[in-house]
Amino acid sequence: MPLPAKRLSALPTYFFATLGQRIQALKSQGIDVISLDIGSPDLPPPPAVIETLHEFARRDDTHGYTGYVGLPNYRAAVAHYYQRRFGVELDPSREVLPLLGSKEGIVNLALAYLDTGDKALVPDIAYPSYAMGTRLAGGDVNWIPMSHEDRFLIKVDQIPSASLQSAKLLWVNYPNNPTGATAELQDYQHMVDFCREHQLILASDNPYVDVTYDDFAAPSALQAQNAKECTIEFMSLSKTFNMGGWRLGAAVGNAEILKTLLQVKSNVDSGHFRPIYEAGTIALNTTPLEWIKTRNLVYQRRRDRIMQTLPHIGLQADNPKGSLYIWAKTANGDGERYVDTALNEAHVAFAPGGAYGPGGQAYIRISLGISDERLEQALDRLTHWYHQSSLV
């Protein structure tokens, strides 16, 4: 057989695929594993979303290709959401590009802009697709240090000038996966000003913007002054409306960047299924704010239960104001060992911090996407397990 492409040699195995295999091996032995590793919503979308999918899927005229730029009503719904939520005006025909979930857009943006020798500036604790997409494109990952002392915020004024040579992209993500860190509008303004000065694309990944707690309202990078000159933002319906498996989102912002991204996408996919676009339009246009608040209170209650338990299982964390995660530091600074031991002995699965970059080795990520009943079972197991484990 021919050898795989050389670009794959620089691409490590996706961590969650490997973890999934380990969990399945344990389950095949009859062991009940509770998963706190995957950030997938466990609750359903609003009822109107499901009803709309059902209605349009039953029609005879909704099963053809929808085109590379999706449906006009879906693009208009995204633009209306940005105007209503952030006060940001978007041209639906030029500044909104539908995506098959934001993950594909993230990787395709790297393919659109990075050649061999080009750099992407990636936080050293970050969603893995920023680095993976860079490597698939043949570019180089330049890690930007993140620290607890800086609240896991990117300090653009601390980025060395040498890191900017051949750099094209700066990745940011708030509310953050995996740390739960949040940014204020002034933080985005610093990032926009920096990217304009150094001719960088500011790639803002913002899927958790509506998953927030304690009355915190997360901003958009596009609210910063002159943001459209350099910024593209990825939004997703996966977390905002509990539509993780529907794979629907959009890239918004700078029209020229979106045009370049479309050039890649039009050679890779042919748009989404119309009933899903229609359901997404309903989600954006009709979901009451109260529905989102009520859903977030469920996550907030789970967050608080986990935070209460952390001191009893050898972990410590700041209380996150957003995202689906708690970013917990291990007592011995070895997140991978904690995850392995908890899986093998307590049969509870976490994600090791090192899977999110070199800055995450001392941490683990805990997901809130689990039912209350299973969460209580997991916390009970962990409390009984920890003080008898080899970690103490």
The model's pLDDT over 145-192, given as tens digits with 9 standing for 90+, comes to 999 999 999 999 999 999 999 999 999 999 999 999 999 999 999 999
CA distance between the termini of the chain:
49
pLDDT category, 347, cuts 50, 70, 90?
very high
pLDDT per residue as tens digits for the range 48-104: 999 999 999 999 999 999 999 999 999 999 999 999 999 999 999 999 999 999 999
Residue among 353, 2, 36, 358 nearest 178 (CA)? 353
Q: Please give the pLDDT value at position 8.
A: 85
Q: Please give the pLDDT value at position 377.
A: 98
pLDDT per residue as tens digits for the range 362-383: 999 999 999 999 999 999 999 9
Q: Please give the pLDDT value at position 391.
A: 77
pLDDT category, 280, cuts 50, 70, 90?
very high
Residue 390 pLDDT more than 90? no
Find out whether 122 and 134 touch, Cβ atoms under 8 Å.
yes
Helices and strands per DSSP (H, E), number in the chain: 12, 13
Name the DSSP letter for residue 122.
Answer: E
Q: What does residue 315 show for φ and ψ, rounded to 5 degrees?
A: -130, 155
Angle at 120 between CA 117 and CA 122, to 5 degrees: 140
CATH of domain 6-44+290-386: 3.90.1150.10
Distance separating alpha carbons of residues 335 and 315, to the nearest angstrom: 10
Angle between helical axes of 102-113 and 255-265 (0-180°, round to 10):
100
Find out whether 302 and 368 touch, Cβ atoms under 8 Å.
yes
Mean pLDDT of 7-31: 83
Give exposure, 204-214, as e/b (b: 16+ Cβ within 10 Å): bbbbbbbbbbe
Question: What are the start-end ranges of the E strands in 5-148?
Answer: 34-35, 96-99, 119-123, 140-144
> How would you class 333 by CB atoms within 10 Å of its CB: exposed for 0-12, middle for 13-18, buried for 19 or more?
exposed
Mean pLDDT of 351-361: 96
Find out whether 314 and 363 touch, Cβ atoms under 8 Å.
no
Q: Which residues pair with 34 in a beta bridge?
A: 348
Mean pLDDT of 333-355: 95
Q: Please give the pLDDT value at position 392.
A: 60
DSSP 89-116: ---TTTSEEEESSHHHHHHHHHHHH--T
Q: Which CATH class is domain 64-286?
A: alpha beta
Distance separating alpha carbons of residues 40 and 293, to the nearest angstrom: 18
Query: Would you say the C-alpha torsion 180, 192, 141, 262 has a positive or negative sign?
Result: positive
Q: Is residue 173 classed as helix, strand or coil in its secondary structure?
A: coil
Q: Please give the pLDDT value at position 290.
A: 97
Residue 143 pLDDT more than 80? yes
Q: Please give the pLDDT value at position 242.
A: 98
Give exposure, 55-67, as e/b (b: 16+ Cβ within 10 Å): ebeeeeeeeeebe
Q: Where are the domains of the chain?
A: 6-44+290-386, 64-286
Count of C-beta atoms within a 10 Å radius of residue 13: 8
pLDDT per residue as tens digits for the range 189-229: 999 999 999 999 999 999 999 999 999 999 999 999 999 99
CA distance to 47, 124, 136, 165, 202, per residue, from 116 (Å):
47, 21, 10, 13, 20
Residue type, 249: G
Higher pLDDT pick, 15 / 290 = 290
- Rounded to a whole number of angstroms, the CA Rg of the chain reads 21
